[in-house]
A and B are shown apart, each in its own frame.
Chain A
Amino acid sequence: MSCGGRTTRVQRRGMTTVELLIAVTITVVIGLSMTTVLTSVARGLSSTNGERSAMQRANVLSHRMLSYTETALAVIAADERGLAIWLHDESGEGKVNLLELRALCFDDDEQMMVMRRVEFPEAWTDEEQAAANTVVTSVEDPFTVMDQQEALGYVTTVPIVDGVSGFAVESSGASAVESPRFAVHVDVVIEMDHSEEVLLAVGLPMHMEPQ
Chain B
Amino acid sequence: MAGAACVGVAWCYADSDVPDMGTVSIHPGGARGLARGFTLAEALIASAVLAVIVVAVAASVSTAQKVAWESRKRMLATFAADGMLSELMTLGYYDLRDRDGQTDAIGSMETMDGVVYPKAFWALGRSVSVTDTSVTEPGSGTVVDGVDVRVAVYDEHKDLSVLTVFVAEPAE
Contact = CB atoms under 8 A, between A and B. Distances in A.
Interface stretch (A121-129, A152-160, A198-206): A198-206
Contact of B23 (A10, A56, A59): A10
Interface stretch (A1-9, A85-93, A109-117, A140-148): A1-9
Contact of B68 (A3, A6, A51): A51
A62 B89 CA distance: 16
A170 B23 CA distance: 86
A39 to B, nearest CB: 13
A198 B89 CA distance: 21
A198 B14 contact: no
Given A10-B34, A12-B35, A66-B86, A181 B113 contact: yes
B5 to A, nearest CB: 5
Contacts of A28: none
B82 A4 contact: no
A166 to B, nearest CB: 11
Nearest to B8: A3
Contact of B121 (A3, A45, A172, A199): A199
B4 interface: yes
Contacts, number: 133
A1 B82 contact: no
Nearest to B30: A8
B55 to A, nearest CB: 13
B75 interface: yes
Given A4-B4, A12-B22, A198-B76, A41 B61 contact: yes
Tell me what chain B mostly uses at the interface: helix, strand, loop, or mixed: loop
B23 A51 contact: no
B32 A45 contact: no
> How many interface residues does chain B have, given as a range?
35 or more
A59 B30 CA distance: 71
Given A12-B34, A197-B118, A202-B86, A55 B23 contact: no
Nearest to B71: A52
Interface of B: 3-6, 9, 12, 14-16, 19-20, 22-26, 30-35, 61, 64-65, 68, 71-72, 75-76, 78-80, 82-84, 86-90, 111-113, 115, 117-121
9 contacts: A4-B6, A9-B23, A11-B23, A55-B75, A183-B115, A197-B120, A199-B115, A203-B89, A205-B89
Given A45-B61, A201-B84, 12 more contacts: A1-B15, A4-B4, A4-B14, A8-B23, A11-B23, A11-B33, A41-B61, A48-B65, A52-B71, A69-B86, A199-B117, A201-B87
